[in-house]
Amino acid sequence: MKAKPRCFFAKYGVLLIYSMSQQNINLAQNTLYLTLASVGQKAVAFLYFAMIARFMGVEDTGSYFLALAVIMILMALDDVGITSVLIREIAKKTSDAKVWSQTVLGIKVITIPVTVMIAFFLPLVLGYGADVTLLIRLAIVIMVADTLSLSFYGILRGLHLLKYEAVGLFMGQIIAAIAGTIFLLTGIASLPLLIVALMTGSLWNMIFSAFQVVRKLGIKALVPTWRLGWDPMKMALAFFMAAIFVKVYSYVDSIILSIQIGEHAVGIYAVAYKLTYAFQFIPLAFVAALYPAMAARANDQKKLKQTLDDALWYVMLIGVPIVLGIWALAPEIIHAFYGSEFEASILPLQILIFVLLFIFLDFPLGSLLNATNRQVTKTAIMGVTMIINVGANLLLIPVYGVAGACYAGLVSFAFMVVAGWFFVQRVVDLKVMDLIRSTWGIVLASLVMATVVIMTKPLMHFVLSIMLGVVVYTALIFAFGSIKPAHLKKFWRLMRPNGNYENSPSNS
């Protein structure tokens, strides 16, 4: 098989490597912007949540996480899937960006009041106490600000201007973390004040993203209209259903845990959940650039296949060592960052972390289906995944407790990847053996790395074991031919101002 050109970079001791053909230069640059910013954002978020857990304890951490889980599910009702259509249509025809911006805001003028009312009364329906009810109602401000910034950043994504989203999200996280840290360190922290701290970051993102849209399209882009009628809503239906499905299977486990066991169980689960999904930014950042690129190449099967192959290689290169590394170091990570009070989170983390690999693989597969107007297929897969997830949670949580929610996640996400692969094969000539041939060295290097970490962590501080594991993994992927020195040269060309791959054609 002919080798594919790839690029690579390392950050925070973990290899963040992405592979692109010569025609993928803009995709690589956009990925770089979001990935670097997301690394910083998630690092801050990880440390901040660990601080909240240490200061507030298991029960309050569970209440805090539960309130945000409810709000995240309701946020899908705000957007009704329209932002995905917005990105796709602007990527296809940038001259329509203003009218799409106006149309999306026109739709949200209707949806936002509806979801605000639902969020206000839902805690009463679910039977939550006064404390959790107050948190959910306070978080309504976060929901409104986030749904608006989601669409504003969507406009910028469609225009291939991801650097603004990178800056905005990072600064928003910094602002929220600073506010929350001040509350915690001064001893005045309460759960409502921690929700207020999150508000500051969300409001920053709303204002910053709106400002960038105005700079690019003019102030009229923020004037709501209904010029496109109901057609956008029809186009968004599949995306809307998909968003509902993904929010439900991502957060329903916390709601079921709270009802069947209590908020203490949610607190234990929240730590494993946060650690697992903290690394989701890598495929998310990649797909932020990948989706519009795939939409632009939807009619060129050869380029589409090349982009998908590169994307799958990339997520395996990053995902496998992260998953096995965290599995090997779960006890040390929990004790170091959260304390002995959260020792019960170790086993859930060691189970749930394997969900991350399925998530990594699903992003490129789902992006291809959506970009080629097969969003109905992707939505159907998500719908079945949601049903499997809810059913598995209802069956397994009463038997296995918090671990049951983790097993449910594994089963449902494994199904999602298998089903996605089956339908992608009908679009491009995707073969399992191609992925095995291109990634066997990555898997083997990761297994050796995890073994080295397990054997050495009793002999040294776990941070030193991590550093040793990184060295072992890096050496082996070069030794196995998964990465070659030529990839470094291509990356440094990309990093230079005006860097390019020998005057490669632009992708915009």
**pLDDT tens for each residue of 56-111:** 999 999 999 999 999 988 888 888 888 888 888 888 888 888 888 888 898 898 89
Tokens 């998908």, residue located: 308
Q: pLDDT value at position 46?
A: 84
Q: pLDDT value at position 397?
A: 95
Report which DSSP code applies to 189: -
Tell me the CA end-to-end span of the chain in Å, nearest whole number: 29
CA 474/CA 456 separation, integer angstroms: 17
Q: pLDDT value at position 396?
A: 96
CA 360/CA 318 separation, integer angstroms: 9
Q: pLDDT value at position 296?
A: 67
Using CA atoms, how far residue 102 sits from 115, 150, 157, in Å, is: 20, 14, 16
The whole-angstrom distance between residue 254's C-alpha and the CA centroid of its chain comes to 18
Report which DSSP code applies to 503: S
Q: Taking the model in full, what pTM does it have?
A: 0.77
CA 406/CA 328 separation, integer angstroms: 17
Q: pLDDT value at position 16?
A: 33
Q: pLDDT value at position 492?
A: 47
Q: pLDDT value at position 33?
A: 66
Best CA proximity match to 352, nearest among 413, 394, 395: 413
Q: pLDDT value at position 508?
A: 29
Q: pLDDT value at position 495?
A: 37
Residues in the chain predicted with pLDDT less than 70, given as ranges, are: 1-35, 229, 281-293, 295-300, 484-508
Using CA atoms, how far residue 427 sits from 115, 132, 170, 309, 378, in Å, is: 37, 46, 36, 13, 13
Write the single-letter amino acid at 122.
L
Q: pLDDT value at position 44?
A: 87
With the C-alpha atoms ordered 147, 380, 412, 353, is the resulting torsion angle positive or negative? negative
Q: pLDDT value at position 366?
A: 86
Q: Which two tokens stand for residue 44?
A: 């801050």
**pLDDT tens for each residue of 397-417:** 999 999 999 999 999 999 999
Rg of the chain over Cα atoms, rounded to whole angstroms, equals 22
